[in-house]
Amino acid sequence: MKKKSEAPKSLKEYLTWVRSLGWYVNLIRTDRGSEYFGNDTKHVQKGDAKNFVEFERVANAPEWGCRVEAGPRDGSKGNAIVERYHRTIFEIASSFLLNS
């Protein structure tokens, strides 16, 4: 992705790819970042309960049978699982770079 506005399209492509492998995505977690609450939802005010519904529409989650969980914005405590995965991926990538 070169722009945040491409996130919904990229997510749809990813879900299509996952489904082509015979797998399913049950849950999409987000930190309410601007990737989904940015350009496509400008008419909805931040912090509004409608943001969550708008996120589902933009991300096409109902179409794919996914459940969407939106945690607190700009905080790692409510998104601990994702933060741990990111840390693990970063550590693996760093070790690959050090060993190359």
**Residue 9: its pLDDT value, please?**
73
Please determine, for residue 99, whether its predicted confidence score (pLDDT) is greater than 50: yes
**Residue 51: its pLDDT value, please?**
45
Q: Tell me the pLDDT band of 75, cut-offs 50, 70 and 90.
A: low
Q: Domain span at residue 51?
A: 4-99
Cα separation, 7 vs 83, whole angstroms: 19
Q: How many independent structural domains does the chain possess?
A: 1
Q: Tell me the pLDDT band of 21, cut-offs 50, 70 and 90.
A: very high
Pair 25, 64: CB distance under 8 Å? yes
Q: Is the pTM for the entire model greater than 0.75? A: no
DSSP 56-95: HHHHTHHHHT-EEEE--TT-SGGGHHHHHHHHHHHHHHHH
- Tell me the percentage of the chain whose pLDDT exceeds 70: 55
Pair 83, 43: CB distance under 8 Å? no
